[in-house]
Structure 1
């Protein structure tokens, strides 16, 4: 990945794409107007998640990913947009194909964990 510089480049491209590509409009709308804080938090989180320093934990404590994402209506569409955006960023950063595939699999597992379950009618449960 290229250490912290590679992680920062991936995160920056991910959020640049989210901000620019209409295909990612729904996940973009879940974020604040400026993406600076989101960029930093994902960078800090990924540094530790990928085996580097736990920058996120040092600043914010345990990530509590699911709890932090509960307020958002994350369904299959949002999961798909997030994954497509990240996969595009991985490819554009020219990350080794085998590594990119393994990362995408791991990202999917984590992103799917953020997804809200469906109730018996097929609708997503409300976070409220």
Structure 2
């Protein structure tokens, strides 16, 4: 049974608070990109990003801050974003989508987040990841 007074992931900024606010989110995104860079199985994702990687890191931190219920800082700095359209130039199939989700799961685990938060976030991330894949396949064809 859940505590009715404890906010649940996805409600308000409960997810952002569970991740550790801006500090925890920054730690997570930095771990995510480091794992992506240093793990051969994930390296193809890292190589899709423009270099230096700093802007991609900043964009993901700011986007996720708003996505997790915090202030929508991405739009203030970079403007409105539609994730599928923003990624349409990339070729994303099941392999890349699953690599991204698995890399994020690994980063969440490395940062010491509980299994319940990892499961919630990977499930939640799978929705936009699926839309990105759909738009990519419509743009570039399957596989």
TM over 0.5: yes
Using structure 2 for the length normalisation, give the TM-score: 0.80
Name which of 99, 103, 112 aligns with 1:94: 112
Name which of 59, 64, 73 aligns with 2:77: 59
CA distance in 2, matches of 1:12, 1:62: 23
- Per the TM alignment, residue 127 of structure 1 is displaced from its structure 2 partner at its CA by 4.1
CA distance in 2, matches of 1:77, 1:2: 30
Question: Could you tell me which residue of structure 2 aligns to residue 72 of structure 1?
Answer: 90
- Per the TM alignment, residue 33 of structure 1 is displaced from its structure 2 partner at its CA by 2.6
Would the aligned equivalents of 2:84 and 2:135 in 1 still touch at CA under 8 Å?
no
Question: Could you tell me which residue of structure 2 aligns to residue 4 of structure 1?
Answer: 22
**1:74 match: secondary structure:** coil
Which ranges of structure 2 fall in alignment gaps of 5 or more residues?
A: 1-18
Would the aligned equivalents of 2:88 and 2:135 in 1 still touch at CA under 8 Å?
no
TM-superposition CA deviations, 1:29-73 (whole Å, max 9, x none)? 211132111100000000000011111011122211111100000
CA distance in 2, matches of 1:69, 1:117: 8
For the aligned residues, what is the CA RMSD? 1.7
Which ranges of structure 1 fall in alignment gaps of 5 or more residues?
A: 119-123
CA distance in 2, matches of 1:67, 1:73: 12
Corresponding residue pairs, total: 123
Does 2:63 correspond to 1:31?
Answer: no
Using structure 1 for the length normalisation, give the TM-score: 0.89
TM-superposition CA deviations, 1:68-126 (whole Å, max 9, x none)? 100000111100111111000010111121111101100111111100369xxxxx444
Question: Could you tell me which residue of structure 2 aligns to residue 121 of structure 1?
Answer: none
